A and B are shown apart, each in its own frame.
Chain A
């Protein structure tokens, strides 16, 4: 079956530091890969996605590249802000059926001023 493994948190950084949150996956077929973000007290929202190998998703300064050879989709940002403090979820979905996603367990990011 499908699975997503992401690094455990919390990840604690100072403002303007470089961020990496690791995500690896196992899947049958050719999945689409996602990062969702959950700000305090809110539901999840899509941050970025990539649908095929070597695609790079980007949004709000965050980037992730679909690496089929290493089955990874690591999230990066060059300079984090306090407002980036949130929980980040890596996810995948495979084509066919109802596109039910498989989520990782989430990584909490805390950014200090």
Chain B
């Protein structure tokens, strides 16, 4: 089974702090994604990466950056956290090519609160 892990389940940070959210997958997937989930808004794509050191903006990249130095790890960075970034953050991965290419595998989520 694919396993996607996220570094923290719950995180509390102060406004202005730099925040790192880490995601690791163990199935050699090429594609990785960061979403935020808010009540009534569903999932919104922040950034995705289809290869090491490659990244693409999603629908709501403002205030965020990402890093992918190794294939298995995809980091989301909040350069200066703000209260409107309080949310549930979900990481996902998919493979490229072959059966099941279009199925997303999700981590358990990180619930971030910015005070």
- Residues of A near any B CB (own CB < 8 A): 32, 34, 36, 41-46, 49, 89, 93, 95, 98-101, 103-106
Contact = CB atoms under 8 A, between A and B. Distances in A.
Contacts of A44: 43, 90, 92, 104, 106
A49 B101 CA distance: 12
A89 B102 contact: no
Given A100-B48, A101-B104, A106-B43, 19 more contacts: A32-B102, A42-B109, A43-B4, A43-B107, A44-B43, A44-B92, A44-B104, A46-B103, A46-B104, A49-B103, A98-B94, A99-B94, A99-B101, A99-B102, A100-B33, A100-B45, A103-B43, A105-B41, A105-B42
A55 B15 CA distance: 49
Contact of A43 (B41, B48, B102, B108): B108
Interface in B31-70: 31, 33, 40-43, 45, 48, 50, 56, 58
Contacts of B108: 41-43
Interface in B74-96: 90, 92, 94, 96
Given A100-B48, A103-B42, A43 B109 contact: yes
Nearest to B49: A98
B104 to A, nearest CB: 6
A51 B90 CA distance: 25
Nearest to A94: B102
Nearest to B109: A43
A35 to B, nearest CB: 12
A98 B48 contact: yes
A26 to B, nearest CB: 16
Contacts of B109: 42-43
A103 B40 CA distance: 12
Nearest to B45: A100
